[in-house]
Structure 1
Amino acid sequence: GKEEKPGFPNLRFIYAGGSPLDPTVKRRVEKTFALSLNNGYGMTETGPTLCQTRPYAPLENCSVGPILPGIESALKSDYSDDSPKADEGELWVRGPNVMKGYFREPELTGAVKNDQGWINTGDVVHRDDQGNLTIIGRTKELIIRSGFNVFPPEVEAVINAHPGVSMSAVIGNIIEGDEEIVAFVKPMPNLGLTEEDLKQFLKDNLTAYKRPDKIFFLEDLPASPSGKILLSRLKEKAKNANSH
């Protein structure tokens, strides 16, 4: 007969969405449910789904899968120049799913959507040979440290890979003449994680310019009712820490 999954015999597939999928979360969920964790991506302004992995063709990485049929896509390299064939850049899309505009906000609409109907998602993505997209990070959350581009999700993924870490959030904080990387970490309970332990782990697993300048341990990360981390509050914490 058909093999049943222990504990979840009627569960056929599971999906993630709403923010970049963390590799550690993906591994934990797949181990718990004995199923592939599918991933998707979209935004309210696009109806909302733009990409989705397929249950019949699961991916081992954290890709959001290919663009859905009927939607055009283009990547702008260096986040400014049109380069439709680039494999990395800011994602622009066009299709019947794209909004007409923000209600009674023509200037706001014009800031994200051009006259040809293309809308800027504000996300930088990588596209592989099969057309699968992987979210690298938000353009507006890009940290420029000593001239190097650093996207928070990449740093968070390494931090979260430490067994003593429950979750983390990384932000950029403007300082005189530069931008510093600040990490807020929620440790696993009762494991005794120290800042020194984490710094050594990051030294072994992360390029020097991507390592956080400061690490703060918090019992909980501030989040909205839907679970999204409130980065604005963390930015305030970082600024206040610098002012003392």
Structure 2
Amino acid sequence: MSATALRPRKVDRPPIRGTIDHSAAVTEDAGLTLALRLAAFVGLYAFAAGHWIAMLTDPPAARLWVTVLIVTLGAGVLALSGHWRLGPAAAAFARFGVIAAMLIASAVAMGIEPRLLLPGGWGDLAAGIDRGINGSVIALWPYDGPDPWVRQVVALLPVIVGVACAAMAFWPGEWLARPGRVGALVALVALYTAAAAERDFGSQGARGLLLLALIAAWLWLPRMRGREAAVAASIVAAAGVLA
């Protein structure tokens, strides 16, 4: 008997039904986690920034919501940049570009003239910001004075805080994940606290409970799954925007 006859025959087995594509499941889970993190960010950022700009009479609410949208989109791009096929240096350069684009677009959305963001306008921009800061030191809140730069400086602070928090909380990499999220949480809570210390918004107890709910969502919402996660994310985002 030949060796060929003794060799076991290869049997083509049909694919097993019901097998799970683990790579697809992991990708879907990561996408859901990112969506929940963004929902928590929108809720807390809109809540804090909305109270801050309420320190102005006739606050630029529409401009703020555009800013929240820009910063949230930028945060999502930053988080997804972890999947870009770039070297470490190129990836870091691209991420800083995203942060710069967020800052510029948000500043324009909040009323800064684009010409002031060009090198030729930096002198006027610095002088205006200095004037606004000095004026805000002696201002009464809510501010209804005539100096446009005081209003502009107040409106710009949520831009700076929001972009910084997006960078801290959504920069990819395990080394920054926990401290970045904690730092962003502290900064957003501080923004609300500073506004509440300067102006009485009323219903402080209810606002405090809502703040605690938004903090809890920031900490635990990304761990939720299923229909409960979708419902909770919608409630958190809506609560922050409507508060």
- TM-score, normalising length: structure 1: 0.30
More strand by share: 1
- TM-score, normalising length: structure 2: 0.30
More helix by share: 2
